[in-house]
Structure 1
Amino acid sequence: MNNDIERILYTQSDLDSRMDEMAAELNVKYKDEEPIVVPVLNGAMIFASDMIKRLNFKLTIDPIKASSYAGTQSTGEVKITQDIKSDVKDRPVIFMEDIIDTGRTLQALSEVMKGRGAKSVEVVAMLDKPETRVVDFHADYYGFKAPDEFLVGYGLDYNGLYRNLPYVGILKHEVYAK
């Protein structure tokens, strides 16, 4: 697996340090609230798990599964394939996402939660890739700006593989150009 990586962008230590900083901000903001934390599966599962362990306020965890990708390309259409079970009415919602790429998925999911009466909707993303944005959407908190490369590791995948790498790296072009 490691041989398929062109280079490592963010080590586990880099990710841990930045998550500590983001969690400190969230702990202040939500200390008197009980938000619903919504990991966007499957990609955000590792990041969300590590972030949630750093949060010291009461919260509900309720994952959602949504997709707008086929292989390496965005289809432009967002589909919720597994919805949350919680009632978001008058509660803050915090999405946890691995990467904001085109912005379509999180924009659509945020609108759904606002339409359901969420008190507020915020997005915490491990990575932000603004060069590939096709809609006007920005994370409230993000770990790092990511280059316009095919990234894997720490939840990010290529065809379901590489999610378990303990870092974020650039996948060699020849691996996905086949």
Structure 2
Amino acid sequence: MSDKTTKTIMEPRLITLHDCDFSTYIFEEEIIARINILAEQIDQEYAGKNPLFLAVLNGSFMFAADLLKRVSIPCEISFIRLSSYQDMQSTGKVKEVLGLTEDVSGRHIVVLEDIVDTGHTVNNLLHQLAERNPASVEIATLLMKPECLQHELNIKYVAKSIPNDFVVGYGLDYNGLGRNLRDIYKIVS
């Protein structure tokens, strides 16, 4: 047995979902490393505040689960459902499918998103939350596409900024498929 450790080289994989091919883009190990950094920031900045995490379904479920496993301060989580996507395009219209039932007045809120691209969903949600008088509201997102933003948003917690590529996996889907993938894939055709 050798004392040397072997570094595993991640080989990109190609998958097909519906009519499109996708190639591995961000491996699970990098995703988890970036989530660890966010959890440490949140632990420091929300110590003693008992934040309420609002996970936006469906896409944020994996991000929310992995982040909350690493947040060590007392906190709560709830789930809301907003949607503005159809196929690979944002519709620009945000619909509240399943609303918030908790009283958020005076609470510190951290919204958990899988991806912020146009910002329509987050912008709409921030306006809805502001009407309920929270103490503070911040956004934590796994992925962000800065060049796609159509709203002025201050996203405090961003695990990774990416270009305007269509991505799936780790909660993100293409017409319902791909949410269960451990890695994130980007479209190649």
TM surpasses 0.5: yes
Contact 2:15/2:23, CA 8 A, preserved across alignment = no
Partners in 1 of 2:54 and 2:92 — Cα distance? 22
Q: CA deviation at 1:17?
A: 0.7
Larger helix percent: 1
Aligned to 1:170: 186
TM-score for both structures, normalised by structure 1: 0.93
Partners in 1 of 2:101 and 2:128 — Cα distance? 13
Q: CA deviation at 1:2?
A: 4.6
Aligned to 2:65: 49
TM-score for both structures, normalised by structure 2: 0.87
Structure 1 residue corresponding to 2:112, chosen from 90, 96, 108? 96
Alignment gaps of 5+ in structure 1? 174-178
Give the alignment's Cα RMSD to 1 decimal: 1.3
Identity %: 34
Aligned to 1:176: none
Contact 2:114/2:172, CA 8 A, preserved across alignment = yes
Partners in 2 of 1:81 and 1:23 — Cα distance? 28
Within 5 A, what are the aligned runs for 1:97-176?
Answer: 97-173=113-189
Q: CA deviation at 1:171?
A: 2.5
Aligned length: 173
Deviations 1:18-41 (A, max 9, x none): 111111010011110111100000
The structure number with the bigger radius of gyration is 2
Q: CA deviation at 1:111?
A: 1.5
Report runs of 4+ in structure 1 exceeding 6 Å deviation: none
Partners in 2 of 1:168 and 1:129 — Cα distance? 14
